[in-house]
Amino acid sequence: MQDMHKAKKGGKWLDYVLFSMDMHNVWASQLYEAIKEVCPDHMVTVGQDEALGAQRPSPFFYEDAADYTTVHSWWLNDHLLWDGVFAKTANKPNLVQETGIMYVETPDGRAKRSEEELRSILERKYAYAFAAGGAGAIQWIWNTNFYMDNANESHIGALRADGTEKPEADVSYDFGRFMEGIRDLFVEREAEEIAVVFPYSNDFSNRKLAFDATTKAARVLGYRLNAPFRGVGEYRLDDLRIRPAKLIIVPSPHNFDDEAFANLVAIAADTGATLLWTGPIGLDPYWRQAKRLPELLGELRHENIRREERLWLNETAGSGLDAVSPVELSFGARRIAETLKETTLREDGPADGDRLVEAAIGAGTLLWSPIPVELNERSESVERLYRHAMEKAGVSEDLIWLESGELPGVYGRKLRFGGGTLFTFVSECGFDAGITVKDPASGTVYAFELPRERSVLFAADGNGELLATYRPNEVKIMTER
């Protein structure tokens, strides 16, 4: 009953949104051709004001109609990695084309954030843009427009009303110098071994759970497991054949396109990937029951989620986890009304919870959790399932964390290119942290101080030797072979 007053009712809403995506591409393609006739050397793109999850045009749909894709990262400061990953397609550069910090007030009308805090937030946004495989970032705006009758807009900008520079201006200067020095590095980037599928059928439906599921997946993978991942769209899965992933995660999609489902299973079977699917697997894009993999899963039925659920893993000795303890899951607030789980009618499962189904599909493996784990409250439970799946899939260790890898407010990863590596570390902590990591590819150990709320970036050649450091007068990277 909770959706009775919403206008977006019925399964046909999905058809309308998909139709609007197609019509947007027609419009964009026509404009593209017209612009190219006049200015053939100019690049053409489509603006996207933090539209992912808002049923607006997405790069995973419009990339063919533009030279590069874009995202504007504004309000979702807790999901900056997610913002970038799910705007980066395999075939086109992605630019964070408009980013900055909206003005926030205290209850008595004063600025809530200091200029130094604003600087650090902008720096994080620039850093995440590159960490997500993007082509860069542009600040909005440089000159403060103090004439605007809008408190959000009239306060923002790198330059104050009198023309003097705020601390955040240094972010563009410093990043510009750093990237200019390593500009030739950004070719032949290696693809991440983990791919997360964005479930557009659900996101375009009248019961949207995709935002919550994918942001939880991004937070657990990026911060708790220190595992880099790439995004792919439900309706554009071809990259998984061109650049196969070891682990493909479909986080709590519920309703899912039939053709896309068959394609995913075939990709896993052909490439040897492990396919981790959480939540109902037998719902077509219109939320209707569909028979999927009956020879493996048998007959399926849907059940309502309870406040507390339990998932059993088929863990083996030596995994580092207790083989007899279950994964506890909690679904608070409105979750028990919003979501479902799916069970098999076979009687070979435990009576005191649901089990993770493991089945061979061709050369690959299906891991199916009947419970939509990403929608539960316990991040540690999602972490445990993902770690189990990564071990099953044989995902390589991107970085060996020797210090501070357990801190959930520290993000760090490397982007490996044909001629070297870009390392990016971001603090979302209220305290400084000492970082020590080892690159297993070169055997080089890097140690440095990551100040609270700041970002540290540096580049190294194929042998692990430092090429350049972001803010070299402030950041010192110690190396050891």
Chosen domain end from 181, 206, 233: 181
pLDDT at 261: 98
pLDDT, one tens digit per residue, over 432-470 is 999 999 999 999 999 999 999 999 999 999 999 999 999
pLDDT at 325: 74
Q: 405-436 burial, b if ≥16 CB within 10 A, otherwise e?
A: bebeebbbbbbbbeebbbbbbbbbbeeebebb
Res 320 pLDDT > 90 = no
pLDDT, one tens digit per residue, over 268-301 is 999 999 999 999 999 999 999 999 999 999 889 9
pTM over cut 0.85:
yes
| Domain identity same for 157 and 269 | no
Is the CB of residue 24 less than 8 Å from the CB of residue 57? yes
* DSSP line for 280-316: -SSB-TTS-B---SHHHH-SEEEEEPPSEEEEE----
| Domain identity same for 171 and 46 | yes
The one-character DSSP state at 224 is: I
Res 345 pLDDT > 80 = no
Task: Report if residue 117 sits inside a domain.
Answer: yes
Task: Report if residue 188 sits inside a domain.
Answer: no
- The CATH code of the domain that includes 354 is 3.40.50.880
Q: How confident is the model at residue 1 (pLDDT cuts 50, 70, 90)?
A: very low
Question: Residue 125 belongs to what domain range?
Answer: 13-181
User: What does the alpha-carbon distance between residue 99 and residue 167 come to, in Å, rounded to a whole number?
Assistant: 16
With pLDDT > 70 as the criterion, what percentage of the chain qualifies? 94
User: What does the alpha-carbon distance between residue 476 and residue 19 come to, in Å, rounded to a whole number?
Assistant: 53
pLDDT at 446: 98
The mean pLDDT value of the chain amounts to: 93
Q: How confident is the model at residue 9 (pLDDT cuts 50, 70, 90)?
A: low
| Domain identity same for 198 and 75 | no
| Domain identity same for 210 and 320 | yes
Strands (E), 64-130: 69-73, 94-99
| Domain identity same for 369 and 442 | no
| Domain identity same for 165 and 213 | no
Res 11 pLDDT > 70 = yes
| Domain identity same for 385 and 434 | no
pLDDT, one tens digit per residue, over 367-389 is 999 999 999 999 999 999 999 99
Strands (E), 394-454: 400-403, 410-417, 420-427, 433-438, 445-450
Q: How confident is the model at residue 57 (pLDDT cuts 50, 70, 90)?
A: confident
Is the CB of residue 427 less than 8 Å from the CB of residue 452? yes
Token pair, residue 343, equals: 């069970």
Write the burial class of residue 326 (CB in 10 Å: 0-12 exposed, 13-18 middle, 19+ buried).
middle
Task: Report if residue 187 sits inside a domain.
Answer: no
Chosen domain end from 155, 181, 207: 181
Task: Report if residue 1 sits inside a domain.
Answer: no
| Domain identity same for 238 and 102 | no
CA distances from 309 to 217, 221, 277, 305, 370 (A): 19, 22, 17, 8, 11
pLDDT at 48: 76
Task: Report if residue 6 sits inside a domain.
Answer: no
Q: Which of 376, 420, 393, 378 is nearest to 248 (CA)?
A: 393
| Domain identity same for 146 and 241 | no
pLDDT, one tens digit per residue, over 408-427 is 999 999 999 999 999 999 99
Token pair, residue 283, equals: 């719902």
Beta-carbon count within 10 A of 393 CB = 23
Provide the domain count of the chain.
Answer: 3
Task: Report if residue 186 sits inside a domain.
Answer: no
- The CATH code of the domain that includes 123 is 3.20.20.80
Task: Report if residue 370 sits inside a domain.
Answer: yes
pLDDT at 2: 54
Better-predicted residue by pLDDT, 52 or 63: 63
The one-character DSSP state at 209 is: -
| Domain identity same for 145 and 212 | no
pLDDT, one tens digit per residue, over 64-85 is 999 999 999 988 999 999 999 9
Res 317 pLDDT > 50 = no
Chosen domain end from 393, 418, 450: 393
| Domain identity same for 101 and 246 | no
| Domain identity same for 218 and 175 | no
pLDDT, one tens digit per residue, over 230-268 is 999 999 999 999 999 999 999 999 999 999 999 999 999
Write the burial class of residue 291 (CB in 10 Å: 0-12 exposed, 13-18 middle, 19+ buried).
exposed
Task: Report if residue 57 sits inside a domain.
Answer: yes
pLDDT, one tens digit per residue, over 147-175 is 888 877 888 999 999 999 999 999 999 99
Q: 125-145 burial, b if ≥16 CB within 10 A, otherwise e?
A: bbbbbbbbbbbbbbbeeeebe
Q: How confident is the model at residue 47 (pLDDT cuts 50, 70, 90)?
A: confident
Span 93-115, average pLDDT: 93
- Calculate the dihedral angle through the C-alpha atoms of 196, 197, 198, 203, rounding to the nearest 10 degrees: -130
